[in-house]
Amino acid sequence: MERKNVAIVGVGLIGGSLALQLKEKGLTRGIVGVDASEIHGRKAVDMGLVDAMKTLEEAIQCSDLIVLSVPVDAINTLLPAILDKVEKQIVIDVGSTKEQLLGIVKEHPKRGRYVSTHPMWGTEYSGPAAAVKDAFENKAVVICNAGESDPDALEWVKEAYKKIGMHLLSMNASDHDVHTAYISHISHITSFALANTVLEKEKEEDAIFELASAGFESTVRLAKSNPAMWVPIFMQNKENVLDVLNEHIAQLRKFKACLEKENYTYLLELIENANKIRKIIK
């Protein structure tokens, strides 16, 4: 497949990791970065994630593929502005919410040059130093509203994701946002809330550090995630997140009631039912 000159707008965890994979798989002739942080930009060049840092205008002009890897509220502003300037370039985003964004660009005359993607991978860390080699191997990537993209743009993006080791899923934007609310967004809210609970009730930082088990660490790991990224996600996917949050609160109330009423038979049933997740997630 044809190698591309690539621009990564937002050279952080996802953008930086994607840059590494595109280079590793020989899918690029060169990669430039665009970032609001000069410190991040210098770090991205020093680490070899990108060959040089450019302004957004320069990056659009010198690239065949433009990757938007910034918070979702920034994508809402950047995507239509970039589409205004592209000719044959392909534009993709890697954001975690889609319905609002796709509504914004639905009638744009260059809508076909845009492919809406969401690689289902991430960590709690941010910035170029968090970039991970082989991050996307054997992970899923969701392509939303594929029929609205030009066939040549869609085909290149699909083949590129396959080359870096991902398997493809196709969804409409609305379904995507519902599923990510249940699979991803609620996990982060739960982690943030649990961290705040522990910080409120356990005033001894040394005790938290010394007594925290591996189970606790894995549960609150996501609480270290960047708020600048997650607040816009929760805002854009508010209705779906509220729906899943209400269900989660209802489940917590069941556990609370079991303990209050000493109904340990039902408590056992709740935990056994939860164990069914083993059949889905090994």
In the chain, where are the structural domains located? 4-172, 176-279
Q: Please compute, for residue 76, the number of CA atoms within 13 A of its CA located in the half-sphere on the CB side.
A: 15
pLDDT in tens, 60-73: 999 999 999 999 99
User: Average pLDDT, whole number, for the chain?
Assistant: 95
d(CA 243, CA 16): 33
Residue with tokens 């917590």: 252
pLDDT, residue 130, reads: 97
In this predicted model, which residue has the larger pLDDT, 231 or 211? 231
pLDDT in tens, 66-100: 999 999 999 999 999 999 999 999 999 999 999 99
Indicate if the alpha-carbon torsion angle 92, 96, 98, 101 is positive or negative.
negative
The type of residue at 222 is L
Its CATH class, for the domain covering 4-172, is: alpha beta
- The DSSP bridge pattern shows strands 4-9 and 28-34 to be parallel
pTM over the 0.75 mark: yes
- Order across the sheet with 114-119: list the strands: 52-53, 28-34, 4-9, 65-68, 90-93, 114-119, 140-144, 167-171
Element containing residue 62 per DSSP (H, E): helix 56-62
In CATH terms, the fold of domain 176-279 is 6-phosphogluconate dehydrogenase C-terminal fold (1.10.3660)
What residues form DSSP beta bridges with 68? 9, 93
pLDDT in tens, 32-52: 999 999 999 999 999 999 999
β strands within 51-165, DSSP E:
52-53, 65-68, 90-93, 114-119, 140-144
Under a CB-based contact definition with an 8 Å cutoff, are residues 115 and 154 in contact?
A: yes
d(CA 136, CA 14): 10
pLDDT, residue 227, reads: 96
54: phi then psi, degrees, rounded to nearest 5: -130, 165
Q: What is the dihedral of CA 104, 110, 113, 118, to 10 degrees?
A: 0
pLDDT at position 214 over 70? no
Residue 248's Cβ-count burial label (10 Å; 0-12, 13-18, 19+) is middle
pLDDT in tens, 176-198: 999 999 999 999 999 999 999 98
Under a CB-based contact definition with an 8 Å cutoff, are residues 267 and 255 in contact?
A: yes
pLDDT in tens, 121-178: 999 999 999 999 999 999 999 999 999 999 999 999 999 999 999 999 999 999 999 9
Under a CB-based contact definition with an 8 Å cutoff, are residues 93 and 68 in contact?
A: yes
The single-letter DSSP state of residue 237 is: T
pLDDT in tens, 235-270: 999 999 999 999 999 999 999 999 999 999 999 999
d(CA 94, CA 200): 35
What residues form DSSP beta bridges with 53? 33
pLDDT above 90 covers what percent of the chain?
Answer: 90
**Contacts of residue 108, Cβ cutoff 8 Å, sequence gap at least 6:** 80, 83, 114
